[in-house]
Amino acid sequence: MSLSAFDYLHDPRRNKGTSFTDAERDALGLRGLLPPRVTTQPEQQARVLDNFRQKSSPLEKYIYLISLMDRNEHLFYRMVMEHVEEIMPIIYTPTVGEACVKFGQIFRRPRGLYVTATDRGRVKRILQNWPERDIGMIVVTDGERILGLGDLGANGMGIPIGKLSLYTACAGVNPALCLPVTIDVGTNRAELRSDPLYLGLLQERVRGALYDELVEEFVLAVQEVFPGAVIQFEDFATENAIRLLARFRDRVCCFNDDIQGTAAVTLAGLLSAARITGEPITEQRVLFLGAGSAATGIADLIASAMARDGIALGEARTHCWFVDSHGLVVQSRRAELAEHKLPYAHDHAPAADLLAAIEALRPTAIVGVSAQPRTFTEPVVRAMARINARPIIFPLSNPTSKSECTAEEAYHWSEGRAVFASGSPFEPVPLGARTLLPGQGNNAYIFPGVGLGVIVSRATRVTDTMFYAAARTLATGVSQASLDSGLLYPRLRDIRQVSAAIAEAVAEVAYAEGLARAPRPADLTGEIQRHMYDATYPVYAEPGRV
């Protein structure tokens, strides 16, 4: 089928705007449909960057960038790739949280697919409505636990859209291979259901067998319509997140980023922190505030990492402790605990709160995954600093408004001795003659590279060994200079190189575990690079050949 001039101008994957050359304008019938001056992609980028920086708020910047993605994908991704440190906080955490809250208000154009509770029996037909067939990566949410903001229903679509944009910007996964999906089963927030701008189903959430049947139908339909696609479960509530991962991980190629991606980036942070504190991972005692799917997922990967270094798995689990809303998770509370907490219900006296648990357990690290802001209080941080020469403080809850403490608080209350990483970004902190650079334990360091490695190797499953390899690779990539400045992760500007290295490590695991359907190339590094998306404009017509 031949394409019209308007197809080229209005398809964001083909559109080059004023960068269509004279030869292309003649060959494609664009002459007169554009201003006469031909501009280069860098010139367009300078104009867009200037307009972006003039926007008055992060949300306005988000709207501007999403509009750019809707009309010119190459230019959007070129912008993100070359200014990732400035733009990532806009297209993902923390600004994406506000964008989800106001999703109906700022809605401009649909992106992705919506599968609803009313679509049982026809999910396959809905997936077939997507114009692409060669899908490599699907990010799906049911909107029940968006970041630390809770149940946002169909408004949660901003998360799959944002995650997939990072697959491309950070790891070079071609955007044509990416599909965001929201499974809309309703929302239990009455204020959303009564909001005239809300775009989802106006009903309470479907639970139980009907919910399970819909998710099962979706997963099976993906295998038929998009065989080989990786399914990333994102921002499901704890019970469903754990249950769905257990249900599907050995049946299809899937993973849960909140559980496994967060675990890998946290493990990488601890491995980097060990280089600062001088205490290996096997000597860490980690106390979690929060005991949901993310927390226990992190503990599982830490325990398996310790086991790889020679500690029995059962003993390794005793290095991980949890404080939930009822206090320290201990053996005497087993009857009331959810199943995912039971491996970490150790034999110990109760402790009422985080501070009491710190005094009793004397942990080397505290990890916040509670979505309860300012719960790493001054007494908590000072207690950690009294017990440890270099206390490890990881407030990981997103967005920034949910962080357990700020970088400034952690550094000042610990007299500059905290080894710090957070889930959302914080500005550098001046402290005496030094300026400390707080690291961000962003899952974007992990999931894009994992996805790329799985796509290149055409792995049939995503395993915990792959996430362990990703964490080790990420930690290895941190320079001593970065550690000296306070950073536990590579600089974001290097994230494409980091993601390529992770992709290679993940692919190697797929080949070693017999999970790869693609034959192992002689030059795996080169094969990874060949798969990475180039945001430079394609050439549609050569000068002199029209």
Give residue-wise pLDDT tens across range 381-426.
999 999 999 999 999 998 889 999 999 999 999 999 999 999 988 9
Spot the catalytic one: 8, 92, 198, 537. 92
Give residue-wise pLDDT tens across range 502-516.
999 999 999 999 999
Give residue-wise pLDDT tens across range 132-170.
999 999 999 999 999 889 999 999 999 999 999 999 999
In angstroms, rounded to a whole number, what is the distance separating the alpha carbons of residues 141 and 544?
50
CB 436 within 8 A of CB 264: no
Active site residue 163: yes
Whether the pLDDT of residue 173 is over 90: the answer is yes
Spot the catalytic one: 8, 16, 77, 163. 163
Burial class (CB in 10 A: 0-12, 13-18, 19+), 338: middle
Backbone φ and ψ of 255, nearest 5°: -160, 170
pLDDT for position 544:
57
pLDDT for position 433:
87
CA atoms within a 13 Å half-sphere pointing along the CA-CB vector of 383? 17
pLDDT for position 541:
85
In angstroms, rounded to a whole number, what is the distance separating the alpha carbons of residues 74 and 72?
6
In the chain, what is the straight-line distance between the N-terminal and C-terminal CA atoms, in Å? 20
Query: What is the residue-wise DSSP string for 443-470?
Result: GGGTHHHHHHHHHHHTBS---HHHHHHH
Contacts of 387 (CB under 8 A, 6+ apart): 358, 362, 363
DSSP 8-state assignment for residue 146: B
pTM: 0.95
Give residue-wise pLDDT tens across range 9-49.
999 999 999 999 999 999 999 999 999 999 999 999 999 99
Q: Report the 10 Å Cβ neighbour count for 261.
A: 27
In angstroms, rounded to a whole number, what is the distance separating the alpha carbons of residues 244 and 479?
37
In angstroms, rounded to a whole number, what is the distance separating the alpha carbons of residues 414 and 412?
5
- Map out the domains of the chain with their CATH numbers: 5-91 (1.20.1370.30), 110-252 (3.40.50.10380), 260-441 (3.40.50.720), 445-514 (no CATH)
Confidence of residue 375 (pLDDT cuts 50, 70, 90): very high
pLDDT for position 1:
58
Give residue-wise pLDDT tens across range 506-546.
999 999 999 999 999 999 999 999 999 999 999 998 775 54
pLDDT for position 546:
43
Confidence of residue 273 (pLDDT cuts 50, 70, 90): very high
Element (H, E) at 328: strand 327-328
Mean pLDDT on 184-196? 97
CB 522 within 8 A of CB 460: no
**Residue 251 is which amino acid?**
R
pLDDT for position 542:
75
Q: What percent of the chain has pLDDT over 70?
A: 99
CA separation, residue 183 to residues 157, 212, 235, 526 (Å): 9, 12, 11, 37
**Residue 450 is which amino acid?**
V
Give residue-wise pLDDT tens across range 293-343.
999 999 999 999 999 999 999 999 999 999 999 999 999 999 999 999 999
